[in-house]
Structure 1
């Protein structure tokens, strides 16, 4: 399983299509699987495959795409890999649109492919059409990810249609950035400037105060990166709010192994929902042995942060229905080197919320410089391993790390560590949240790296506190720091600290005492999967 495709809400049902190899636990034979849900948590697999590679225009693979509601009915746009290894864009419609489960789909052979690589675009660099929107002229628009090989420019091409059947390439691209390589799985959507309510308004009508988001998956780095800006429906151009925060330079949805994400507007609850693919971090032989590979992340609600140039993400509130057996602690004072075992938290499915009081040496510093654009800090290496898991000689002062160990063996030989760490550099403080997997498993075939992202406190109301929420589901650890301003997804494969032998600890490995003012841990019920 890999990319989420075509998510939508239709006739009271959430639909998720996804890239899938139905024959093996390795990439290949790409089809569209299909699952449905009424709450985005418990899912039913639809027996019928939605799309299979059986036409000349998709015989080598039914690749990623999107869903759009057109005149009240859903239409799928997707990339096909042809019998000549060319990427082209195609269309499919439901066989029976009155079926709320949308079990069967029909490819529109008379219209497919509706777009082929234009001049200057390589036949293997043209894929993943977005959800369509209506332009100022009343005509439909969709966008396709691509690149110009001459200068390695990532680009989003725009297409226009009056009938959703015949499409023409527009002269102007939606956006492009030199040196960023192939842009796949693009996404383009509006966000309200104030509040968490989602939007599907692309025209700025009715005095809507909003920004726009372009997200792309960078094929060369495997990062999902985004930029917030303004969109002029008249000129059909996107302009970043801050050039320094453009695609590929600063902002990522997730600083771990979260990729090929896709959002959709949920009209049922008026929110923007984000789905993403979590890859494995072990060897393919392990996946073949267990018979499956990769999962979809817990759906997230996404909205614009108060700073108006970055996003926040949070697990959909429906996940709280799985919580049980709460454990709570307040005002835990952790001295230098102290580790606190959270009794009663054994298990590998947990929901954890923790708040740390910022150490006074940091919080009271007059040179505290919280600037979100510091996500590109001069002199700090891009390799977060150096900062998260090692010394940094250029630092004037380091505070931390302090955080939690999850999926830990009782003797801590195995542990996945999620923590905060402060660096004082050139007179100002920078805050990092990290996920350290270097001691996560005794297994020889597991990747044991370090993930990390800088945290902004500039728009956070309580400047004296650091917060994180961690969802643990067996091998998956999803972290949401500072209310979802920085997110990290990781895979951990412990041999000792798994299932009921998995323990949780709160720790302080720094030189200053740290107080955990709030700690709440819930064991989680299992998500139910059935087939329809």
Structure 2
């Protein structure tokens, strides 16, 4: 949230170690969403209604610029893990850092859910509509994901709606739900309470059983409090995702200063717990992203916030570099282990695009990428970047495209970030992440931007239509021994129309 000149980030944190447990709400503040000041925890277990844990939730700004936190508390230990919904308010509204938070005695606001007490958590940012505040709480029953809706006139007494806002069978527990308005008419964000003609809504849920998220775009019936996804949104595990890689438990908020909606995502680990203990840390927040509705209305688009460009240092620019099959060209003059790379590829013809195998119809993009990789020759692709690469390519994380022709002769564009060769270390999680890209290739061009940061590669295909974040741990391609290449392993020649790359400086960590 934004309050009195500062952005506030709250996040789940264990102050006693780099493994799960002892979870508090850590708290950091920033002027620009890039350079942060770490403060003391905002919330930690201290009351009967959260004595066994303070879990995730959201912040809402009430009238009079008064922030309030909604969060899940655990009131009984295993095996029941009964969960309730609580709130906290600042002890001193005049403190722009909001260092101290108070938990009023009328907690919990919402008591134990009798149907499934251990699957009832993560209240959303509330919105005001029709004289009531409204919020969602994630849950499940018999493997059916549920977003329960609650109403309140005063933000203190909450009553559950007779029916969920939305529910879907065979999706399991819905964690960290998010619900917010968007418009196809503008890239500007909207406040959560914004309503009106032409406004659609996004419902995002994090799937506990798969550890990934999906979202739908649809219509919110404010009178009946129903949400109905559009027929262009797949409602289920095969639905659209913010990010097809290491990305979970995300939240958005409305930034009133720059009138944008910001998406925060957590990159979970690919390393082992033993290694996490040795490193002394685990998990990382990804770069904040601006998010908006594509003019087609079918999907969201994401892009790194503009403030990240303030970290750019030395730069390199490449133009009209031809890549025949089997060619890779090094991008020099920048720090490849910590870089921002924005490249546009072009090709003269779509004729060499291979047919999309009918047997892949029932496979998701990740399975297709896993079976093909970046080294298997194609027609139009694979082409893209080799990030965090060792000099002789013993290690590298390729981010690339393959373009296919489907049976209806329509093009099918696959984007991959393949960690299989990212590290020589044993025991790491090294998957082939992938997603399909809904992009018009009539101009025979496609873009790719990657933010590379030592153990993280965040990639944005086709100006942010498909995004993939990979968590990798190279042993050779580290610091000054990391390299960056553009490559093509397809029979159709590829041209790097433009490549702009920058070494990236580190943000400030202030206390």
Aligned equivalent of 2:6: 13
User: Does the C-alpha gap of structure 1 residues 202 and 125 become closer, same or farther in structure 2, counting only changes over 3 Å?
Assistant: same
The correspondence for 1:112, drawn from 103, 107, 114, is 107
TM-score (structure 2 length as normaliser): 0.94
Q: 2:233 and 2:128 mapped to 1: Cα distance?
A: 30
1:398 and 1:107 map into 2 onto residues whose CA distance is 61
Change (3 A) 1:18 1:442: same
| Contact 1:414–1:440 under 8 Å retained in 2 | yes
TM-score (ref. length: structure 1): 0.91
Moved more, 497-506 or 78-87: 78-87
Instruction: Give the total of aligned pairs.
Output: 501
1:114 Cα offset (Å)? 1.2
- 1:422 aligned residue: 403
Does residue 494 of structure 1 match 2:488? no
Q: Equivalent residues in 2 for 1:176-187 (5 A)? A: 176-187=167-178
Matched residue, 1:157: 148
Q: How many Å apart are 1:127 and its aligned residue?
A: 0.3
| Structure 2 unaligned residues grouped into runs of 5+ | none
CA separation of 1:272 and 1:463: change in aligned 2, threshold 3 A: same
Q: For residues 404-442 of structure 1, what are the alpha-carbon distances to aligned partners after superposition, in whole Å with 9 as ceiling and x for unaligned? A: 111111111111100001223324321011001111111
Q: Please, which runs of 5 or more residues in structure 1 have no aligned partner?
A: 1-7, 370-376
CA contact (8 A) 2:416 2:432 kept: yes
1:385, CA displacement in angstroms? 4.5
* Displacement of 1:203: 5.3
1:83 CA drift (Å):
2.5
Q: Match of 1:188, SS?
A: strand
Q: Superposition pairs for residues 43-442 of structure 1, below 5 Å?
A: 43-46=36-39, 48-71=40-63, 72-84=65-77, 85-109=81-105, 111-119=106-114, 121-136=115-130, 138-149=131-142, 152-200=143-191, 202=193, 204-205=195-196, 208-242=197-231, 244-362=233-351, 379-391=360-372, 398-428=379-409, 429-442=411-424
Structure 2 partner of 1:520: 500
Q: Do the aligned residues in 1 keep the contact of 2:86 with 2:109 (CA within 8 Å)?
A: yes
Deviation at 1:201, TM superposition (A): 5.4
Aligned twin of 1:3: none
Could you tell me whether the CA contact under 8 Å between 2:255 and 2:262 is conserved in 1? yes
How far residue 305 of structure 1 moved from its aligned partner, in angstroms, is 0.5
Report what 1:24 is aligned to.
17
Deviations 1:252-285 (A, max 9, x none): 0100011000000000110000101111111111
Does the C-alpha gap of structure 1 residues 203 and 301 become closer, same or farther in structure 2, counting only changes over 3 Å? closer
Contact kept in structure 1, 2:7 and 2:31, CA below 8 Å: yes
Distance 1:65 1:256 in 2: 23
Secondary structure at the counterpart of residue 278 of structure 2: helix
The answer on whether the counterparts of 1:242 and 1:309 sit within 8 Å (CA) in structure 2 is no
Contact 1:348 1:407 in 2 (8 A): yes
Q: Distance in 2 between matches of 1:203 and 1:328?
A: 42
Question: What is the SS of the residue equivalent to 1:289?
Answer: helix
The 8 Å contact of residues 420 and 430 in structure 2, kept in 1 or not, is answered as yes
Q: For the Cα contact (< 8 Å) 1:436–1:449, is it kept in 2?
A: yes
Alignment partners' CA distance in 2, 1:381 and 1:503? 36
